[in-house]
Amino acid sequence: MFTKATVESSTVLVLAPLSVLPEYQKQGIGNALIKEGHRIAGELGYRYSVVLGSEKYYPRTGYLPAENFGINE
């Protein structure tokens, strides 16, 4: 699920933390859901999304740490 948010003057999407039942994990389901969400978001004109979640999982799906963009606590 993506939710609209505002970053400076831009409307962006925020990815809600994703969950897959344990018996279905490690099969690419979460990755496929994120990829499809990004595809649809791109078609709707969104340039990027942000997520508050695992620093180990989400980088595998293309998310980068906020520090890379000068955003700190």
pLDDT at 73: 60
Q: What is the 3-state secondary structure (H, E, C) of 31-55?
A: HHHHHHHHHHHHHCCCCCEEECCCC
Sign of CA dihedral 57, 15, 19, 72: positive
DSSP 8-state code for residue 70? T
pLDDT digits (tens, 9 = 90+) for 9-50: 888 899 988 899 999 999 999 999 999 999 999 999 998 899
Total number of domains in the chain: 1
Q: Tell me, what's the pLDDT at 29?
A: 95
pTM of structure: 0.80
Return the CATH number at 35.
3.40.630.30
pLDDT at 71: 76
Note down the domain range covering 45: 2-69
**Alpha-carbon distances, residue 70 vs 4, 11, 65, 67 (angstroms):** 22, 19, 10, 5
